[in-house]
Amino acid sequence: MMIGINRLIIVFGILAVLLALGGCIATSNPVSNPGSSTTITIKDGYSRTVAVPSGVGKVVCSSGGPCVRYLVYMDAADMIAGVDSGDQPNSTSSTTRDTRSYTLANPGFAALPVIGSSSGGANLESIMVIQPQLIFMMGSATNQTGETVSPADTMQDKTGIPVVALPSGAYTTEEGRAQLYSSYRLIGKILGKESRAEELIAFIEATIADLDRRTRDIPESQQKTAYIGGLSYGGSHGLMSTQSEYPPFLWVHVKNIANGSIIQTTEFSRESLIYADPEFIFIDAGTLGVTDEIGGLDAIRSPVFADMQAVRSGNIYATLPYNYRSSNLDTILADAYFVGKVVYPDRFADIDPKVKADEIYTMFVGEPVFEKINANCDNLGFGKIILSGG
């Protein structure tokens, strides 16, 4: 009898130890969201501390455009549970020509729930119906009134869903690229795409280095002059829409005649263009969508430009539009190879710009979409603009 009692005491003791251990394990893995049993704590792009679910598989972007694009670049399109109306693939009418690789490569976005609009922003109720595990936001750390509570904090409080805010970064400066790469790495850490982040960063760095390597030894006195016109931003524009810090010119060492105006897109003057008289003129094919002014492809045919050397020599070419809901980073790189091939053909003798573009698109969005983009530019991209008979 005594032996049986001792055995019971031992059994109850073991059970008590197991229950205690079970309690320790549970407290180390707090529940945060439906569908997730553990969380990890991260610092987002604006130093906000956020507890995000581990094993995230269902996300949305509150800010559309750049955010959705970056998730596609990170090979995470299948995790996107809803998009705003501006990120659904659209038609090819004269005013809605879709030239974004990330939407053209993902026609399935058209079937996703709509969580807001490009003009009105995210609809919190729609997001909460979808119940994503995480919301990504491209935006600033504070709101427009300068209050200490950020838009990301406000959205997180209202929805009860973790919100990770990221800077979009930029191509043209080392600081901008550092921000861009930091955002890629943070997305990679959260979504289990760390190797993809490093692959993409390495590709961008190698591509920019290749462009620079081909042309950096050209003496400044021998560098060609050029103008980029018709640049899209917030829609299509005419010939005098340009940019002083146009990345393709910077990377292949072409002198931008608009340099020194302002850093962002600006309206150049017709007189300044005629006076500078560049050797080459490139026109963004996105100017085809102009409805309230003369498009750049028609404007260059005006008699006022007839005596310019680029016009007389026929050195006028169409690039693919890269500004559509912010910058399409893959198209910027593709345009750079086309510019280099046109201006310094001997330095790019081994490059077919269209083939190179598809190599770049395949890396960024998983598909060679040059022909789809160019079809929405009337197949004018990466070609010479014919002035007569237009």
CATH number assigned to the domain comprising residue 162: 3.40.50.1980
Q: Do 154 and 297 lie in a common domain?
A: no
Supply the Cα-derived Rg of the chain in whole angstroms.
26
Laid out side by side, the sheet with 383-384 consists of 255-256, 225-229, 280-284, 316-319, 383-384
Q: Do 94 and 235 lie in a common domain?
A: no
Q: Tally DSSP H helices, then E strands, for the chain.
A: 14, 14
Site of tokens 């800077």? 167
Q: Do 115 and 169 lie in a common domain?
A: yes
Q: What is the full per-residue pLDDT of the chain (390 aa) written as tens digits? A: 444 444 434 434 433 433 333 333 233 333 334 444 699 999 999 999 999 999 999 999 987 678 999 999 999 999 999 998 888 776 444 446 789 999 999 999 999 999 987 766 788 999 999 999 999 998 655 444 444 568 899 999 999 999 999 998 888 788 999 999 999 999 999 999 999 999 999 999 999 999 999 999 999 999 999 999 988 776 677 888 898 889 999 999 999 999 865 545 567 889 999 999 999 999 999 888 777 778 888 889 999 999 999 999 999 999 999 887 778 999 999 999 999 999 999 999 999 999 999 999 999 999 999 999 999 999 999 999 998 754
Give the residue numbers spanning the domain of 317.
217-384
User: Can you give the pLDDT at residue 19?
Assistant: 38
Tell me, yes or no, whether 307 lies in a domain: yes
Q: Do 278 and 367 lie in a common domain?
A: yes
Q: Do 108 and 255 lie in a common domain?
A: no
Q: Do 176 and 277 lie in a common domain?
A: no
Q: Do 358 and 231 lie in a common domain?
A: yes
Q: Do 328 and 283 lie in a common domain?
A: yes
Cα separation, 202 vs 196, in Å, equals: 10
User: Can you give the pLDDT at residue 140?
Assistant: 55
User: Can you give the pLDDT at residue 28?
Assistant: 30
Q: Which residues pair with 50 in a beta bridge?
A: 42
Cα separation, 97 vs 100, in Å, equals: 9
Q: Do 127 and 233 lie in a common domain?
A: no
30 to 8, 34, 246: CA distances (angstroms)? 34, 12, 48
- pTM, two decimals, is 0.86
User: Can you give the pLDDT at residue 172?
Assistant: 78
Q: Do 111 and 242 lie in a common domain?
A: no
**Ordered DSSP codes for 201-218:** HHHHHHHHHHHHHHHTTS
Tell me, yes or no, whether 276 lies in a domain: yes
Q: CB count, 10 Å around CB of 281?
A: 24
Q: Do 101 and 249 lie in a common domain?
A: no
**Total tally of structural domains belonging to the chain:** 2
Tell me, yes or no, whether 338 lies in a domain: yes
Query: Taking a C-beta distance cutoff of 8 angstroms, is the pair 162, 25 a contact?
Result: no
Q: Do 267 and 353 lie in a common domain?
A: yes
Tell me, yes or no, whether 204 lies in a domain: no
Tell me, yes or no, whether 16 lies in a domain: no
